[in-house]
Amino acid sequence: MADGQRPPDRTLEALLKEDRRFDPPGDFRRLAHVTDPAVHAQAEEDFLGFWASFATELDWIREWDRVLEWEPPHARWFVGGRINICANCLDRHVRGPRRNKVAIVWEGEPGERRTLTYWDLFQDVCRFASVLKSLGVRKGDRVAMYMPLIPELAIAMLACARIGAVHNVVFGGFSAESLRDRISDSGAKLLVTADGGYRRGSIIPLKRIADEAVEACPSIQSVVLVKRADLPVDMRRGRDHWWHHLMEQATPECEAEAMDAEDMLFLLYTSGTTGKPKGIVHTTAGYLVGVYATTKWVFDLRDEDVYWCTADIGWVTGHSYVVYGPLANGATVVMYEGAPDWPRRDRFWEIAERTGTTVFYTAPTAIRAFMKWGTEHPARHDLSRLRLLGTVGEPINPEAWVWYYKHIGGERCPVVDTWWQTETGQIMITPLPGITSLRPGSASRPFPGIRAEIFDDEGRAVKVGGGYLVLSRPWPAMLRNIYGDPERYVKQYWSRFSGVYFTGDGARVDEEGNFWLLGRVDDVLNVAGHRIGTMEVESALVDHPAVAEAAVVGIEHEIKGTAIAAFVTLKEKSAQPGDEAGPPSAAGQALAEQLKEHVTKKIGALARPEVIILTADLPKTRSGKIMRRLLRDIASGKALGDTTTLADPAVIETLKQKYEEAG
Ligand code: PRX
């Protein structure tokens, strides 16, 4: 593999030994949507027909002429079709028996509860769509959102979809600078935010952070503000409006726009291998079909289910599997604003019990935290209504998988380990819970209609074994572009191997065709399931006045899976904290803390380095390239790989010592 991130050895070792299997329980198998393993072969025979059959379950304003036009690397799905996603998530249901069905059961971190039926949600969405129009938002305009996990976020997204505006949700944990960059790149006209949001007992002052960001965003004409936390805020006259004031006056009459199948639905920024995040472009019809189909089959969703995906809506998982997928399926969706351990470590299980959650979807990081907290927390609650569990976001170690299966699922719920990306829009590799014999640590097989393969360095398909994970056939919810940067789209995803999509992940495929994901092979880290580019953290570090150079690598972390370690050299060469041998001095420790704060301020707490090593030199090749591979070896306490190209071998010995002393 390339000199990129490598899977933690622990994962690989554990996976190589893993041979347990868990078959779907009899009842589950009998009642599931998918009971016949032949679905895979059938979809292979006619993959366009396969996707079209899901599309016919939806409401179209005009039917499509052709399912797919594929001129690599540009796909158009359901060409000629006209459809509105919001109408498929709401109008379709309020016309029928789901009108008074609960759409959203929401709970705030301090404990407030709200329940919205499909009719309630429909009314609020239409009202907010009218609000957007009255503020001058038109089809194609971008609307940024920087919000806590409250129903208003889903309402704002659906309202955009209704009138054809493009939403760009920015996770509420990002800093003012990160928000500013994303707003500027998208040229958003309007920002929806809140005074604050609750997290682990404290309030994040979203409006204050947003004000700082918007200062430098001339494209923003209006800011709409949800009153959530009763924080005092500055209201800029003519620009800022209270959500509740606007909604009181708005009409609930608002027709859904007839969108072209390929009109842009949303932009979502994600990290890549450069310092600049990419605005991933998703469009309308294909995205809807992809998330509708996968929600239905992977979560085996039926009308009586209570479905809870714990992801924040600021990430793609929240877009596809909190909002669009489940609502398109007419599901009852649980949303919880806050932390899993607030005020106690059983908060999730208390909510699951009270709401009667039947399908639960979360991240391996969360599962590892639950494991550490102990079984007594879930044991205090009746979780017997759960029938299916899922995970997403990072490789799950078999130990965590089995713990989840046993202590949350009561050894009766299949666990679907779903692999996908912001770019894929929909789940791509996954068990189908009624037919798959589950192997802890494996995401099993590509969803029907999807073609995933393992390629070696030369782009030859590996039938059994490890290599690069690629997707060699277009799929409906695939990204269409990088906003404003079509060249980067081609270069990033379609140039490593010609004509196939390069995922940036390493994986192994076994004799049975099961895929075992091994983590990123590029300069992207997956920290607690959040995607962070090493270059972004390095840029944030060198932005600090004391820093000359920075090199960031991933290190194993018991809960986060991967954490960030940064090796930093300082500008002034004389008497610097990094120069001394032995344990870090008080000045060195203070500066390291300052640098961690600096990264938090620049990017957000999610990118805060776990360890910072100040050093006089970094290991470089004779041509001056930093050898991150060696830094990773040092950080993981491994024997050093090939050091023959190193310009000054002494550097590495000093660094090793420093790293050990830093603990
Ligand atoms: O490395 C893979 C990892 O998360 C990356 C995608 O991150 P993001 O775009 O933020 O989307 C996360 C939620 C879909 C992938 O390239 N990843 C995601 N799911 C899994 C996974 N790694 C292993 N197993 C998974 N189930």
pLDDT at residue 276 in the model: 87
User: What per-residue confidence (pLDDT) applies to 345?
Assistant: 98
Q: Which of 320, 439, 505 to mutate to test the pocket of ligand 1 (most atoms within 8 A of CB)?
A: 505
Residue 263 sits at the vertex; the CA angle it makes with 242 and 138, to the nearest 5 degrees, is: 35
517 vs 395: CA distance, rounded Å: 6
Residues of the chain with CATH 3.40.50.980: 117-257
Confidence at residue 8, expressed as pLDDT on a 0 to 100 scale: 55
Helix/strand/coil (H/E/C) assignment for every residue in 69-85: EEECCEEEEEECCEECH
All CATH 3.30.300.30 domain ranges of the chain, comma separated, are 524-662
What's the first-to-final CA gap in the chain, in angstroms?
A: 29
Give the distance (Å) from ligand 1 centre to CA of residue 77. 24
> Which of the four pLDDT bands, split at 50, 70 and 90, describes residue 76?
very high
What is the rounded average pLDDT of the residues 459-472? 97
In this prediction, residue 577 carries a pLDDT of 67
Q: Is 105 helix (H, G, I), strand (E, B) or coil?
A: strand
Mean pLDDT, range 113-126, rounded to an integer? 98
Contact 595, 589 (CB under 8 A): no
Q: Ligand 1 centroid vs 39 CA: distance in angstroms?
A: 25
* 395 in contact with ligand 1, CB cutoff 6 A: yes
Average pLDDT, the chain: 94
Going by alpha carbons, the residue nearest to atom 14 of ligand 1 is 421
Give 418 Cα–ligand 1 centroid separation in angstroms: 8
Question: What three-state secondary structure class fits 178?
Answer: helix
Query: pLDDT grade, residue 12 (50/70/90)?
Result: low
State pLDDT tens for residues 480-536. Answer: 999 999 999 999 999 999 999 999 999 999 999 999 999 999 989 999 999 999 999
Name the token pair of 567.
């090796």
pLDDT band at 14 (very low <50, low <70, confident <90, very high): low
Number of neighbouring beta carbons within 10 Å of residue 653: 10
Peptide bond just before 545 cis, omega within 30 deg: no
**d(C-alpha 450, C-alpha 443), whole Å:** 14
Pocket test for ligand 1, best of 531, 532, 534, 562 (most atoms within 8 A of CB): 531
| CATH class name, domain 117-257 | alpha beta
Alpha helices, H only, 187-242: 206-215
Contact 617, 593 (CB under 8 A): no
Distance CA 162, CA 584 (A): 57
Sort strands 197-199 and 452-455 into parallel, antiparallel or unpaired.
unpaired
Higher pLDDT, 539 or 582: 539
Q: How far apart are CA 157 and CA 117, in angstroms?
A: 17
Give residue 420 CA to ligand 1 midpoint distance, Å: 5
Task: Kindly tell me if the per-residue pLDDT of 215 is higher than 60.
Answer: yes
Question: Is residue 640 scored above 50 in pLDDT?
Answer: yes
Task: Answer whether residue 30 shows pLDDT above 90.
Answer: yes
Specify the pLDDT at position 541. 97
For the residues 378-399, what does the mean pLDDT come to?
97
Rounded-to-integer distance, Cα 532 and Cα 553, Å: 11
Ligand 1 neighbourhood includes 420 CB (under 6 angstroms): yes
- For residue 531 and ligand 1, the question of a CB distance below 6 A is answered with yes
User: 169 pLDDT exceeds 60?
Assistant: yes
How far does the centroid of ligand 1 lie from the alpha carbon of residue 92, in Å? 32
| Centroid of ligand 1 to alpha carbon of 564 (angstroms) | 17
Residue to mutate, 294, 324, 526, ligand 1, most ligand atoms under 8 Å from C-beta: 526
What is residue 581's predicted lDDT score, i.e. its pLDDT?
63
Please determine, for residue 1, whether its predicted confidence score (pLDDT) is greater than 50.
no
Residue type, 605: A
Q: Across-strand partners of 555? A: 563
Grouping H, G, I as helix, E, B as strand and the rest as coil, residue 270 is strand
DSSP state of 496: T
* 176: number of Cβ within 10 Å: 20
Task: Please indicate whether residue 394, judged by its CB atom, sits closer than 6 Å to ligand 1.
Answer: yes
Q: What pLDDT does residue 645 have?
A: 85
- 72 vs 75: CA distance, rounded Å: 7
At 142, the pLDDT band (50, 70, 90 cuts) reads very high
Predicted confidence band of residue 547 (pLDDT cuts 50, 70, 90): very high
Find out if CATH 3.30.300.30 is the number for domain 524-662: yes
